[in-house]
Amino acid sequence: MPLETVAAVARGRVRRTVRRRVVLVVLALLVLAVFATSLVVGRTVYPPLDVLRVVLGEDVQGASFTVGRLRLPRAVLAVVVGLSFGLGGVTFQTMLRNPLASPDVIGISSGASAAAAFAIVVLGLSGPSVSLVAIVAALAVALLVYGLAFRGGVAGTRLILVGIGIAAMLESVTAYVLSRAAEWDLQEAVRWLAGSLNGTDWSEVLPATAALVVCGAVLLSRTRALGALQLGDDTAAALGVRVEPTRILLIVAAVGLIAFATAAAGPIAFVAFLAGPIAARVVGTNGSLLLPAGLVGALLVLVADLCGQFLLGTRYPVGVVTGVLGAPYLIYLIVRTNRAGGSL
């Protein structure tokens, strides 16, 4: 290979590496800025210095309750669930080599939603009990979809189609349960199903944070294996990856993130679906998309929550705002795939 070509390749790698680092820093700073804004802004606007004092544990008259007990848990949960949805969603999309392979599309979120609606309406449960049922259901649906799609291996297209079918069935179950609900149960179920950060307290933040630490660490430690699976099972095996055990570990970790995030804030629509493609656009395809997608997910949830609270004339749950953003992109992606002659 000519020296000029080698030098050009090296310069290209350096540029891509620099671009990736710059974008990661910018994304992190944007998340921090929006997080801080969500603590300062509200019906009452507090000086940033008072907010900082509250965060550091000082007692500030007027601000300690509003910021420390209302805004801070909500903002922290927004970051945690955004990171979780971003990491979980891009893991599925990368592993199955298809942007439609998102928990929103393949039934995992639908499983948690159906189980939560059943727990609230039929079993009369509330609070942590509903979250536990949603977590178990999300894991069970993931195993069911994987088992039905497995034929000597898992093809991305087959898993997506099986997941779409399972999701349709579960959404029918949710609709039936809601049609039978009493008015007081219906309000609680709809609030949960919409995806909302309203009324967040630390008891909801801590389990989701623990899941993010454990499952996120598992995913980040398997970055190279995930990149190898993106090249196909045969190539990954040739590179020394134990394909099926690695895939199962990645699925369990990703589903764990999605399940705990959904249990804490409801199935916030399309964050897991959008975070990966947006991260790929701003970072490029050089390197893993796990961390960029996590930061994009956190930014999406924080911005959507602020918009839902203050910019739309009335207060909307965060899931309504992200649904408005995500649905057009899903339609665009399906139309583009169809025009390109590809399949789902």
At residue 16, the pLDDT reads 77
For residues 252 and 236, the answer to whether their CB atoms sit within 8 Å is: no
At residue 42, the pLDDT reads 85
The pair of three-digit structure tokens given for residue 126, joined into one six-digit string = 């509330």
Instruction: Give the 3-state secondary structure of residue 154.
Output: strand
Nearest to 321 by CA among 196, 205, 204: 196
Measured CA to CA, the distance from residue 279 to residue 72 in angstroms comes to 26
Instruction: Give the amino acid at 17.
Output: T
pTM (global) more than 0.95: no
Instruction: Give the 3-state secondary structure of residue 150.
Output: strand
DSSP string, 273-317: HHHHHHHHHHH-SSS-SHHHHHHHHHHHHHHHHHHHHHTSSS---
Q: Within the chain, what is the greatest distance between any pair of CA atoms?
A: 75
Domain architecture of the chain: domains with CATH: 3-339 (1.10.3470.10)
From the number of C-beta atoms within 10 Å of its C-beta (0-12, 13-18, 19+), residue 319 rates as buried
> For each of the chain's 344 residues, which pLDDT tens digit applies?
566 666 666 666 777 788 888 999 999 999 999 999 999 998 889 999 999 999 988 888 888 889 988 999 999 999 999 999 999 999 998 888 888 778 878 888 888 888 988 888 888 887 788 888 988 998 899 889 888 887 766 666 788 888 889 999 999 999 898 888 887 778 778 877 888 898 888 988 999 999 999 999 999 999 999 888 888 778 888 888 888 888 889 988 998 999 899 888 888 988 998 899 889 888 877 778 999 999 999 999 999 999 998 887 778 889 889 988 777 877 777 676 656 544 44
For residues 192 and 317, the answer to whether their CB atoms sit within 8 Å is: no
At residue 34, the pLDDT reads 96
Measured CA to CA, the distance from residue 28 to residue 5 in angstroms comes to 35
Number of C-beta neighbours around residue 231 at 10 A: 13
Measured CA to CA, the distance from residue 38 to residue 41 in angstroms comes to 6
